[in-house]
Structure 1
Amino acid sequence: MTSLPASMTAIAIREPGGPEVLEPTTRPVPQPGPGEVLVRVAAAGVNRPDVLQRMGFYPPPPGASDLPGLEIAGTVVATAPGGDPELLGQAVCALVAGGGYAEYCVAPAGSCLPVPPGFSMEEAAALPETVFTVWHNLFERAWVAEGETVLIHGGTSGIGTTAIGLSKLFGIRTVVTCGSAEKCDAARALGADLAVDYSSEDYVEAVKGFTGGKGVNAVLDMVGGDYLPRNLACLADDGRHVTIAFQRGAKVEIDIADVMRRRLTLTGSTLRARSADFKAALADEIHGTLWPRLAEGGWKPAMDESFPLAEASAAHARMQAGAHVGKIVLRVG
């Protein structure tokens, strides 16, 4: 590490608040510990959890960097003592527990994946957080399979566009909800089989019409609150409901008798605080199952807008405005 600089530019959260509290600062270049690598960051993804952390609602887990940023792409420039020297110089994208909004970031070696052929660093940086989240929740927790139909809320968000793309790749039909006719058009262009404008349509009735009254096999929900009983009404018998966020509240009343009668499964998860071993196992499965399809040109993430690292506040303002379609990234190096 002697050839590396002692300090770097990073984006810190001055205090909980709006996008303006994100400010460039100088930090020491972090040192990789056992099982970790140091990545010279080329691009970093911007995600809803970053916004929540900035607002003071989503603190980093113990031991994680206080800097925001959960996904990066770049080049491995150092390993911990005894680390695999073959990793040096490799172009990788990585899921991290924090610290991505910086020129250098420490990442668990097990959470690093090679940048797929034909992907830019910005496209690669848009992969880890949403791909890991969608893969685990839609394919592992909801165990969706070819020929099934899923309901995805937030159809033009990073999670939503990724869920559309991966579902299409594996032969799963998608119904998505969006907040405007324009966003519905964008979702259909990305491969959604049905896009419902929730500002003017009842998505429960739309789902019933689309499925001939049977309902969808699974729901991927980041809305929560009063959406939950409506989501359950959308499910077919033996349907699976997965919660990954609760923008409309964490508490709601549901009819347990209906859950029992129709054999519904309600589950959910968070990813950031999961162990390095869990994330490494998830990365290994994704690498073996999804990465070969990406190498064949099967799918790329929907990209919205990129901003220089120093303009992280503008990136957050765009995300909060809700006009984006797909992933927002920061250009770092």
Structure 2
Amino acid sequence: MSNPAAPTSLLALEQFTFERILDEDPLTHSLILLGTFPNPQVSDGVVKAVVRIEKTALSPDDGSRYFGSNGVVRKVEVEGSTDIYTWLFGWLGEDRERDIKINIICPATDVHIRKYTKQEQVMVNETPAIYEQHVKPYILAFPPSRTQWVENILTGISEKSKILYSSSEFLLLPDMKWDSKTLSSLYLIALVQDRNIRSLRDLRRHHVDLLKTIQREAHRAVREKWGLGTGSLRMYVHYQPSYYHFHVHIVNVNYQGNILGMSIGQAHLLDDVISLLELDPETGPGIFERMTLTYGLGDQHGLYQVMVEANKAAVAA
């Protein structure tokens, strides 16, 4: 039996009276609205309605026709650009809300191509010995050009207008993955000025003050600019990171859109990192020099083969 109150046409949908947002989910790109539709059959003339709006999935079949003279995308605006990275917003029609975010790496190296290729994961154990023998040389072999975009930000060549906090120690600014609009998916990045800190492995006890300052200034910035209070942020460090210049990820604690980037093994909470560093001895090797780190590694990662072989050798020994 059909429901006479159910809106089944555009004309009926236009009668919706919005009351409030019930929920939003950046992961599924959806909003849930509460409101009413008119209904003369009830005493007060309106009925409550919950409306869920979700952006449909991008079809692989459209991959070849997104851009070009007859492309699906009808309008774009540049959000930012630095070195090889550019990010834009796109509209699938002139009068629409912005539909898609477009991130471009150009020119892209083989490393970039492997990174963004679908990968099978394997868990690996990185002992201090494996780090010194295999991982550290891999990191040091990266040319400065791989992090030129970071240098451009740190030296004020790009993104200068977006900086939320600047000091001789670090910069705080919106991450390129964030649309700078949706508060529930807030995503900031802290880039340190010290080029000698490439990853978690390089952190020592004397870096605790730096990390605590990042925490404090991030909380201050989101409180003053967006009204987010204590406990509203998740701060973490990746290992292995996507690039070897030390940085801290700062996201809204309710954000689930980067769930893979917050997975166990890869993401290390900043509070935990600080606590471990505070256990460091005043002299001698630091805790991140002595720890075995366990994490997932994709089969396209440059360390994949050497880490798999090193782990096999460790088990056989």
Q: Whose RCO is larger (CA < 8 A, sep 6+)?
A: 1
Scaled by the length of structure 1, the TM-score of the pair is 0.23
Q: Which structure: larger Rg?
A: 2
Scaled by the length of structure 2, the TM-score of the pair is 0.24
